[in-house]
């Protein structure tokens, strides 16, 4: 069993990185990278908390995280398909130029 503080710090930093990417980046693909980092932070924290019982393994959080991983992959796939479609129409990934969302 590893100390929970390692995982708290790692999760918090990953969360900050993902939020910074979502806040300051203008590229649609980079925004999706930021979202994926946020997903990773949440999953890591969940698994880390589930392994804090002394020597015990709890299958419930692991199975929930497994399902969350599959759904996160689905979200990213749909987001990338949307990004490809946006690029096909507007020839750019710059979200400033996509403000109007008008076809």
Partner 1 sequence: MIEILFVLSLVLVSALLAVTSRNIVYAVIALLSTNVTLGIAYYMMGAPTVALFQLAIFAGAVVVFFVITVMLTTGGDVEFDDDTVPWMNKKIQLALSILSVEVLAGVLLTQNIDFPFQKYASTALETLSFVPNSYDDITTAVSQFLWNNRGLDLVSQSFVILAAVICCIALLKTRSHE
Rounded to whole angstroms, the Cα distance separating 42 from 8 reads 11
Residues whose CB is less than 8 angstroms from the CB of residue 64 and which lie 6 or more positions away in sequence, other chains included: 46
Using CB under 8 A as the binding rule, whether residue 35 contacts partner 1 is answered as: no
Using CB under 8 A as the binding rule, whether residue 51 contacts partner 1 is answered as: yes
Using CB under 8 A as the binding rule, whether residue 2 contacts partner 1 is answered as: yes
Using CB under 8 A as the binding rule, whether residue 90 contacts partner 1 is answered as: no
Q: How far is the CB of 71 from partner 1 (least distance, A)?
A: 6
Of the residues 55, 99, 101, 103, which one makes contact with partner 1 according to CB under 8 A = 55
**Beta-carbon-side half-sphere exposure of residue 96 (alpha carbons within 13 Å):** 4
Q: How far is the CB of 98 from partner 1 (least distance, A)?
A: 13
Give the length of the chain.
103
Q: 3-class SS at 20?
A: helix
Tokens at 88, concatenated: 């096909």
Residue closer to partner 1, measured from CB, 67 or 101: 67
Using CB under 8 A as the binding rule, whether residue 31 contacts partner 1 is answered as: no
Rounded to whole angstroms, the Cα distance separating 71 from 65 reads 10
Residues that bind partner 1 (rule: CB under 8 A) add up to a total of: 72
């Amino acid at each position: 069993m590893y100390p929970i503080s390692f995982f708290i710090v790692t999760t918090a930093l990953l969360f900050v990185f993902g939020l910074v990417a979502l806040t300051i980046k203008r590229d649609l693909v980079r925004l999706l990278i930021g979202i994926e980092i946020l997903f990773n932070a949440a999953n890591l924290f969940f698994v880390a908390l589930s392994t804090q019982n002394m020597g015990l393994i709890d299958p419930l959080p692991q199975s929930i995280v497994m399902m969350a991983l599959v759904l996160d992959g689905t979200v990213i796939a749909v987001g990338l398909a949307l990004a490809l479609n946006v690029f096909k129409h507007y020839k750019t990934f710059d979200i400033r130029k996509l403000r109007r969302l008008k076809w």
